[in-house]
Amino acid sequence: MKLEYQPKVIGFLCNWCSYAGADMAGTSRMCYPQNIRIIRVPCSGRVDPLFVLKCFQRGADGVLISGCHPGDCHYTEGNYHTRRRFALLRDFLDYLGIAKERLRVEWVSASEGQRFAEILSDFTTELANLGPRSKV
């Protein structure tokens, strides 16, 4: 698939589920767009909203935060905090003009390589359709 615009995507993946899920996509040789750069964190609860703000400030077109499914957190509760923090931040950024489509929060388990690849394809396409972020 050839995209009109190649968006820049930064992903924060928890070590125990989503990073392993991305590994699983690799070992299963599933192809997905190359646009993402993955940063490994111990838990999605480690993702500071400031990281996301810095990504957007640095010109990222989209940010993905992915953790274990609620209830499955390796640290039992981290992703519940993630959910609260980013439910609020996502809408707030939208309010400030950074469309909510640009910040994704997903739950991907270690076995969901296929799902990870699908999410990325979908996200990249969506971002490409949105086009570059407005520069003022």
**DSSP labels for 51-85?**
HHHHHHHTT-SEEEEEEPPTT--TTSSHHHHHHHH
Q: Which residues are CB-contacts of 119 (< 8 A; sequence separation ≥ 6)?
A: 64, 66, 104, 106, 108
123 lies in the site for another protein, by CB under 8 A: no
Q: Which residue in the set 17, 55, 119, 128 belongs to the binding site for another protein (CB under 8 A)?
A: 55
Q: Which residue in the set 7, 78, 123, 128 belongs to the binding site for another protein (CB under 8 A)?
A: 78
- Looking at the DSSP bridge assignments, the partners of residue 38 are 11
Query: Segment 7-46, which members bind another protein (CB under 8 A)?
Result: 8, 10, 15, 19-20, 22-23, 25-27, 29-32, 34, 37-43, 45-46
Q: Which residue in the set 3, 77, 131, 132 belongs to the binding site for another protein (CB under 8 A)?
A: 77
Nearest to 7 by CA among 86, 72, 60: 60
Number of chain residues interacting with another protein (CB under 8 A) = 70
69 lies in the site for another protein, by CB under 8 A: no
Q: Which residue in the set 69, 74, 114, 125 belongs to the binding site for another protein (CB under 8 A)?
A: 74
User: Contact 46/13 with Cβ under 8 angstroms?
Assistant: no
Query: In the block, which residue shows the tokens 């992703």?
Result: 79
Please compute Rg for the chain using Cα positions.
14
Residues at the interface with another protein (CB under 8 A): 8, 10, 15, 19-20, 22-23, 25-27, 29-32, 34, 37-43, 45-51, 53-55, 57-58, 60, 70-72, 74-78, 80-81, 83-98, 100-101, 104-106, 117, 133-134, 136
